[in-house]
Amino acid sequence: MSKANQTPENKFSVRKLLSHPVMSYLLAILAAFVASGIFIALMGYDPFKAFQTILVTSFRTPNGFIQTLLKWVPLTLLALAFTVPYATMKFNIGGEGQLLMGAIGATIAGILLKGLPPILMVPAVLLAGTLAGAIWGFIPGWLLYRYKINEILTTVLLNFVTFALVNYIATEVYPNPEVGHPTTIRIATEGWLPMLVDNPPLHSGLILMVMVAIGVYAFTNRSTRGYELVATGANPRAAGVFGINVPVMFMMGLVIGGALAGLAGGIEVAGIQHHLIEGMHSNFKILGIIIGLIAKGSSLAVPFVAFFIAVMEVGASAMQRTLNIPIEMVYIVEALILLFVLLVDVVRRK
C-alpha cells in the first residue's frame, strides 16, 4: 500500500492500461512474440518474416481463409469441451480422445445407416458422434462421481485407449485396403455435410459450430443449470450448502464437454474427411486446452481466441513450407502466450 501511495499516478496508469482485458491479451501476445522472436533469430531464421507468415497467410488468399475457418470449427468446440467442465474447476484433458470417439461414432453411423435420405442421415451421423463423445466424457465423470478418481488422469488415459481403438477400427473393422495408412471406407454420401462454398470447400459445420458456441454461452451465463455449474466451480462447499448437487455438476460438466468434442469429431468426418483416418486428431493436439486456458475459461472469449489460434496454425504450416521453420515453433509461441496472459494477471493483481 505504501508503495502505491508514493507514486500514485504511475501505478494508476499502468494498472488502468492493463485492466482492459483486450489490452492485457495484446500485451501478452506481444511479449510472447518478442520472446519467441529472439529464439527464432538465434536459430538463424528471420523472425519478422516468420511472424508475418504466421499472421498474414490466412488473409492473403480465399483458400487460406477457408482453411482457417475449417480449423476454427473443431478448435472452438474442443476449447468449449475444456471450458465447460473447467467452469466446475474440473479439467478435461481428454478432448482428443473424445473427438476421436465422435469421429468413430460418426463413421460407424455413416457406414451402417446407408440408404437414409440426407435430411435424416446428416443429423444421425452428427448425433452419433456427439453421443459417442458424451459417453467418453461420462466414464471419467462417473468415476469421479462414484469413486472420486482424479478426472485429469482418467480423461488423459482414455485418450491412449482411443488411439488404439481408432487403429483397430481402421485396420480390422472397416479397413480401406486401397490406402496405405490405416483408414476406414467412406461413409455414405448422404451423410456428408452440405457445402457452403464448393471451391475451395467449406462445409456447413461452421454454422452449426457458431450456433453451438452461442448455445454454450447462453447455457453457462444465462441459465439456472449453467449458473449452478459456475457456482460449483467458484466454491463447491458453498454450492453444496445451497442445495446444488456438486458431484452431479462435476459429472455433467464432463459429459457436456465430451459431447462437444464428440460433435467436433462428427463434423470432421461428415464435413471434411468422410472416413475415419488414423492420426486425424494430430492437427489439434491439445490446442483445445490451451485455447480454453488463454480464454480463462470464458465461453464468450473462446471463439475469438480459437480463431486467432486457427490463424496461427494455418500460418505455421505456410511458415514450415516457405521458410523451413518447423511447425512446432508455433506451439512454443502459443504456450508463451498462455504463460504471459497468466503473468499479466499477476502484475494486475499487485
Pairing, β 195-197 against β 202-203:
antiparallel
Q: Decide whether 18 or 343 has the Cβ nearer to another protein.
A: 343
Cβ 3 to another protein shortest distance, Å: 16
Q: Does 34 bind another protein (CB under 8 A)?
A: no
One of 148, 181, 225, 321 touching another protein (CB under 8 A)? 148
Give the Cα separation of 150 and 219 in Å (integer). Answer: 26
Burial bucket for residue 267 (CB in 10 Å: 0-12, 13-18, 19+) = buried
Sequence-distant (≥ 6) Cβ neighbours of residue 116 within 8 angstroms: 124, 188, 190
Interface with another protein includes 156 (CB under 8 A)?
yes
- Toward another protein, which CB reaches closer, 48 or 160? 160
Q: Which is nearer to another protein, 65 or 331 (CB)?
A: 331
Residues 234 to 273 in contact with another protein, rule: CB under 8 A: none
| Cα dihedral value 80, 84, 87, 91, nearest 10 | -90
Phi and psi torsions of 114, nearest 5°: -50, 135
Of 26, 34, 238, 342, which one interacts with another protein (CB under 8 A)? 342
- The distance of closest approach from Cβ of residue 140 to another protein in the complex, given in angstroms and rounded to an integer, is 9
On whether the CB atoms of residues 76 and 245 are closer than 8 A, the answer is no
38 versus 43: smaller Cβ distance to another protein: 43
Give the x/- contact pattern for another protein in 81-120, rule: CB under 8 A: ----------x-x---------------------------
Q: Please state the closest distance from residue 328 (CB atom) to another protein, in A.
A: 4
- Cβ proximity to another protein: between 165 and 230 the closer is 165
Q: From the CB of 128, what's the least distance to another protein, in Å?
A: 21
Of 29, 131, 290, 319, the residue at the interface with another protein (CB under 8 A) is: 290
Asked if 73 is part of the footprint of another protein (rule: CB under 8 A), the reply reads: no
Between 52 and 320, CB nearer to another protein = 320
Work out which of 160, 179, 223, 241 binds another protein, going by CB under 8 A.
160
Query: Contact region for another protein (CB under 8 A) — 70-78, 168-176, 185-193, 213-221?
Result: 168-176
- CB closer to another protein out of 66 and 108: 108
Q: Which residue from 41, 43, 197, 234 is in contact with another protein, where contact means CB under 8 A?
A: 43
Q: Amino acid identity, residue 140?
A: P
Q: Which of 73, 286, 301, 305 binds another protein (CB under 8 A)?
A: 286
In the complex, minimum distance from the CB of residue 324 to another protein, in angstroms, rounded to a whole number:
9
Cα torsion angle, 107, 111, 112, 113, sign: positive
Q: Which residues of the chain form contacts with another protein (CB under 8 A)?
A: 43, 91, 93, 143, 147-150, 152-154, 156-161, 164-165, 167-168, 171-172, 285-286, 289-290, 293, 326, 328-329, 331-332, 334-336, 338-339, 342-343, 345-346
